[in-house]
Amino acid sequence: MKTAYTADQIRGAERALMALLPEGTLMQRAATGLAAVCADLLGRVYGRRIVLLVGSGDNGGDALYAGERLARRGAWVGAVLAGSKTHEAGLRALLDAGGRVVEPPELDRADLIIDGLVGIGASGALREPYARLAETANAAPGPVVAVDVPSGADASTGQVAGAAVRARVTVTMGAYKTGLLVDPGASVAGDVRLIDIGLGEHLPDPDVAALTGGDVDALMPRPGAESDKYRRGVLGVAAGGDQFTGAAVLAVGGALRAGAGMVRYAGREGPVAQVRAHWPEAVVTPLDEPVIDHVGRVQAWVLGPGLGTDDWAHELAARVLGSGVPVLVDADALTLVARDPGLLRRDAPVLLTPHAGELARLIRAERDDIEAARLEHVRRAAAELGATVLLKGSTTVVAEDARPVRVNLTGTSWLATGGTGDVLAGVAGALLAQGLSCYDAASCGAYLHGLAGRLAADGAPLAAADVATAVPAAIRAVTSATS
């Protein structure tokens, strides 16, 4: 599992380690790792032009010492001193190695730029001259390597309040920072490289975590010798209406592809015909009235994709949420819950899967505020609503009260197309029916859905049905190592 930490957590671990080491050891370790990554990116160091953006803090010192190492390997290294003060020993080391102090126009001639303007403790918008230097570096032809976190991105939240450096590579020291995994910070961090400086045992419980393929493999349900379709998990799907029949087809397809032993679909006549035509494996129950007593036993429900928001849909939602099994609430059902929060007063687990606009309605917030501070709002939603919350978007995050937020690192921007959320609901719902908790079903479902999107797209546009088709390949990709 990839774990990440806030700035305060990192600083606490650094203080504990520094108390055991000679002064300056951590900075030298960081500079060595930074210089190695820069050399690897350049390919050839001798004769290359490198410009350092040096602020007042320790990141500026890291940049100076890394510049010293690169200068000793034959690079031309210049430092733009932007702070009110400069790390004196680092600057002296750079100058002794043949480096020099330069002005910002040198950025346009650089083969590589090292961003050491601000450190992990910075928050809010960059001040001048840092903001102007960040924009100048972004416009320069050479790639940018950020030290620890791109200047302008909040290390603890991923928020970007104004100008920010857009890095090709971010070299982060000791442990991943939360803001490197969550947009918009993640979108300006580029390829994140972790340098081990020895923090390990001094780190506390993580702020956020991201599942790896191995983690998903360990959590995935597998049929055994005694398995039958009922023991493998029966999922009920209450989705689709006269207007959005396809949502039911996609949700059922995602569930079947994700390994549910049986899918029981219940809905109005229009989507019933479509589900029958596309998925003969599903057990279909037409609903003349919004009741589920005759649908049959299920281990979990998916409620909402394309369902509608009229009185009929509200009554069906009340019946499903009145059952004693876990329920995944998506799409139109989220609108119903936002109008009638009493629907969530239940003892059984609930998994909510909103996008930012839907979450805004659920917790009475502004959509733009949610997009700018995803972690803050998903945590708030989980606490206020008493549910597990999967917030969809450029960074999908899963929150459950009193647990680390899980961040999904798979996926592709090609998934931003209609219907893919319905497939995700089916995939996560199937995992719920197979016995995973809401927290694990949401995390594994997001991982597999994102990976399926990558496999289906392969660098080109995709349709939601393509994602459902690729789910078995995504499962094979994470389970093949031990199957």
Where is the binding site for AMP, in residues? 392-396, 421
Annotation: binding site for (6S)-NADPHX? 58-62, 119-125, 130, 148, 247, 306, 355, 422
SS3 235: strand
SS3 79: strand
Of the candidates 153, 208, 251, the one whose C-alpha atom is nearest the C-alpha of residue 378 is 208
Annotation: binding site for K(+)? 59, 115, 151
Burial of residue 179 (CB within 10 Å: 0-12, 13-18, 19+) is buried
Q: What is the token pair recorded at 431?
A: 């995992």
SS3 352: strand
SS3 151: coil
Q: Where are the beta strands (DSSP E) in 174-258?
A: 176-177, 191-195, 208-210, 234-238
Looking at residue 414, its amino acid is W
In angstroms, the CA 273 to CA 247 distance is: 13
For 435-466, give one letter per residue: b (16+ CB within 10 A) or e.
Answer: ebbbbbbbbbbbbbbbbbbbbbbeeeebebbb
Annotation: binding site? 58-62, 115, 119-125, 130, 148, 151, 247, 306, 355, 392-396, 421-422
Q: What is the token pair recorded at 362?
A: 């659920």
286's enclosing H/E stretch is strand 283-286
Sheet of strand 2-5: strand arrangement? 176-177, 2-5, 208-210, 405-407, 397-399, 388-391, 350-352, 327-329, 300-303, 234-238, 262-267, 283-286
In angstroms, the CA 216 to CA 478 distance is: 7
